[in-house]
Amino acid sequence: MDIINLIREEGWSIQKTKNSANQDVITITAEGKEFPLRHPFFIHAALYNAAKNPEIKYNHFKAMHDYMWPDTVWHYWTERRFRKHCAGYKYITYAGGANIGKSMDAAKIALLFFFANPKGRTVLIASTSLASLSSRIWGYVTNLLRQSKVELKYKYTGGTAPKILFPVIQKRGDPPDTIHGMFAVAAKQGAPEDVISPWIGRHPDDGLMVVLDEATDMPDALVDALPNLEKGQERYQLMAIGNSNKTSDLHGSLSTPQVGWENIDPMRDSEWLTNQKDGICLFFSCYESPAIHEQDPVKKARLSKFLMTKEAIEQEALTRGINSEAFKRFTLGFWQDT
């Protein structure tokens, strides 16, 4: 379908005028703002950037997603993650066991955030090592880029320091832009100032996002180091992902409830405000998996290929033991020491 028809399907108005050279100029009016003729993805991106209302912001973010990956099997866990991103929380932790789609959704959010303004944003995707990133969330990032149905401008560099940059045409003698882009980084062990020393010095024009993969195994010192990344950033968000292990590790520290761990029940609570500034923890219990509660059998079968199912829970309860540490961490996905 061509761009004009996509614009019409959006319900936006199309205007055709003449410029000084008597050439046709087509502009689009959407939500009271005027845009040059372009794919709706980029118009939704601009409207997402400008929106202050979380619901409006989410609607444009979801539209961007659907243009990039129209074949996605949408479910309420992804919707919940997208909505919390758009709600403006600065620190978001994803807690839960295996097969809940947290890394995939974090990769999508990171890509959509970056490509909403690739000339002005920085995304740092961090783990314990670059090798582990390539087989986990950075792998999702690169696969999702290849699967995108929207043609995006970017330059990918692999090797020892993988990154995705917006291909800016440079004037002769100008240094390349090493600030804006998506960067795979490793967290060093050591004092707080050493842990993120390779990340410091990036002051993007329009926003910074940090994604901590395998946060359960990352240095605890990051808790004290992270505020240094936030300084001077109007748009800032950190997402920490992990299979919940101990409340004392980095993932647990970032997830600590304001009301105290003693007041959180994994069979009742699915989210809570944390001790971090503008922080929230999203807990995804295996028993609430969309692959269990979906009523449409066709969609349920598709969800069951990558999300936890009732049969998988029962099998893991038998093989691991329902009261075992392994079941609590990798199946239920809740902290063992609460």
Percent of the chain with pLDDT over 70: 93
Per-residue confidence (pLDDT) for residue 227, from 0 to 100:
79
The pLDDT assigned to 159 comes to: 79
Mean pLDDT by runs of 10 across the 338 residues of the chain is 91 87 87 95 97 98 98 97 97 95 96 96 88 82 96 88 79 68 81 64 84 89 81 89 93 96 95 96 97 96 96 95 92 91
Dist CA 212 CA 152 (whole Å): 25
**What is the reported pTM?**
0.93
What gap in Å lies between CA 9 and CA 161, rounded to an integer? Answer: 41
Contact 110, 125 (CB under 8 A): yes
Cα-based distances in Å from 3 to 26, 42, 45, 149, 329: 12, 11, 16, 13, 47
CB within 8 A of 75, min separation 6: which ones? Answer: 101, 290, 294, 303, 307
- How far, CA to CA in Å, does 280 sit from each of 81, 110, 225, 238, 302? 11, 18, 19, 11, 30
Confidence (pLDDT) at 17: 84
The long-range contacts involving 277-280, CB below 8 angstroms and separated by at least 24 positions, are 277/90, 277/91, 278/88, 278/89, 278/90, 278/91, 279/89, 279/90, 279/91, 279/92, 279/93, 279/254, 280/84, 280/89, 280/91, 280/92, 280/93
Whole-number Å distance between alpha carbons of 39 and 151: 9
Return the pLDDT at 198: 65
pLDDT for 169:
60
Q: For the chain, give the percent of residues with pLDDT over 90.
A: 73
Contact criterion met (CB below 8 Å) for 253 and 95? no
Phi, psi of 206 (to 5 degrees): -140, 30
Could you give the CA distance from residue 43 to residue 34 in angstroms, rounded to a whole number? Answer: 9
229-241: pLDDT as tens digits: 887 788 999 999 9
CA dist 132 and 149 (Å) reads: 28
